[in-house]
């Protein structure tokens, strides 16, 4: 199976590639970053499926779907988009796409994060700074994508509310902290003395009075 992967973001492209190869190890993946590159690739024989991102540098929205369908009517298109509106998805399907997947439903944040980690190991022979930057780029990209998704927005709202509630907490002063620490320490000392006296008292009762094992 030969798959065209049309995505301008290299980290997300790497993540999708890894997911596809895990499911279909024998698949041949052709990667393109622009619609122009993709139109050149589909002129070659063998492409069966195209995974297409609608946010491309040289094409906007539905234009890429229309041009790909005109250039290769038999090519099955799976469209990825940050737009989760049902009406928008319906328009994409009307243009001839075989499927539509909103990126917030695709777990793209995890894909980007995983891609950054994968990049860390794929760059094993490179300098450590490049490998660390790969992970940081994956984290930054996943946070950026999450910002535009509904679940991501809910998470950020929850995080802001959690920070606001934390700021309302009244923390004890240094004096109160020292007083509490002193009370705990004193309690521990008293309990230690009490347990030692209890142990010695029981030892005296059982060994000296009851059993008569007086120490010589």
For 5-63, the pLDDT digits (tens) are 888 877 778 777 877 787 778 888 888 888 888 888 887 767 888 888 887 888 877 88
Tell me how far apart the alpha carbons of residues 212 and 177 are, in angstroms, rounded to a whole number: 50
Query: What proportion of the chain, given as a percentage, has pLDDT over 70?
Result: 74
Confidence of residue 145 (pLDDT cuts 50, 70, 90): low
The CB-side HSE value for 57 (13 A sphere, CA atoms) comes to 9
Q: What is the pLDDT of residue 1?
A: 75
> For residue 56, what are its two tokens?
């491309």
Cβ–Cβ < 8 Å for 52, 77:
yes
Confidence of residue 147 (pLDDT cuts 50, 70, 90): low
Q: Choose which CATH entry (3.40.50.2300, 3.40.50.1100, 1.10.8.60, 3.60.150.10) describes domain 2-166.
A: 3.40.50.2300
DSSP bridge pairs for 199:
none
Confidence of residue 157 (pLDDT cuts 50, 70, 90): confident
Cβ–Cβ < 8 Å for 83, 39:
no
Confidence of residue 137 (pLDDT cuts 50, 70, 90): confident
Strand ordering across the sheet containing 47-53: 28-32, 2-6, 47-53, 76-81, 99-102
Tell me how far apart the alpha carbons of residues 114 and 64 are, in angstroms, rounded to a whole number: 27
Cβ–Cβ < 8 Å for 34, 60:
no
The full 3-state SS of 38-76, as one line of letters, equals: HHHHCCCCCEEEEEEECEECCEECCHHHHHHHHHCCCCE
Give 66 or 120, the one with higher predicted confidence.
66
Tell me how far apart the alpha carbons of residues 32 and 23 are, in angstroms, rounded to a whole number: 21
Tell me how far apart the alpha carbons of residues 189 and 204 are, in angstroms, rounded to a whole number: 23
Helix, strand or coil, per DSSP, at residue 19:
helix
> For residue 48, what are its two tokens?
């069966």
Confidence of residue 113 (pLDDT cuts 50, 70, 90): low
Give 195 or 129, the one with higher predicted confidence.
195
3-state helix, strand, coil in the chain (%, to 5): 60, 15, 25
Q: What is the pLDDT of residue 85?
A: 66
Strands annotated E in the chain: 2-6, 28-32, 47-53, 55-56, 59-60, 76-81, 99-102
């Amino acid at each position: 199976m030969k798959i065209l992967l049309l995505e301008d973001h290299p980290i997300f492209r790497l993540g999708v590639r890894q997911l596809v190869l895990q499911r279909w190890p024998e698949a041949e993946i052709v990667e393109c970053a622009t619609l122009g590159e993709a139109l050149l690739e589909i002129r070659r024989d063998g492409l069966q499926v195209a995974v297409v991102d609608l946010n491309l540098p040289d094409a906007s929205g539905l234009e890429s779907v229309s041009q790909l369908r005109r250039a290769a009517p038999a090519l099955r298109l799976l469209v990825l988009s940050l737009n989760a509106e049902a009406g928008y998805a319906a328009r994409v399907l009307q243009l001839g796409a075989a499927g539509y997947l909103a990126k917030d439903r695709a777990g793209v944040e995890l894909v980007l994060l995983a891609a950054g980690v994968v990049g860390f190991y794929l760059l094993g022979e490179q300098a450590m700074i490049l490998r660390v930057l790969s992970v940081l780029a994956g984290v930054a990209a996943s946070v950026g994508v999450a910002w535009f998704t509904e679940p991501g927005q809910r998470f950020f709202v929850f995080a802001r509310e959690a920070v606001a509630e934390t700021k309302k907490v009244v923390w004890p002063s240094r004096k109160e902290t020292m007083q509490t620490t002193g009370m705990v320490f004193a309690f521990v000392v008293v309990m230690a003395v009490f347990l030692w006296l209890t142990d010695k008292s029981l030892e005296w009762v059982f060994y000296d009075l009851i059993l008569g094992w007086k120490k010589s």
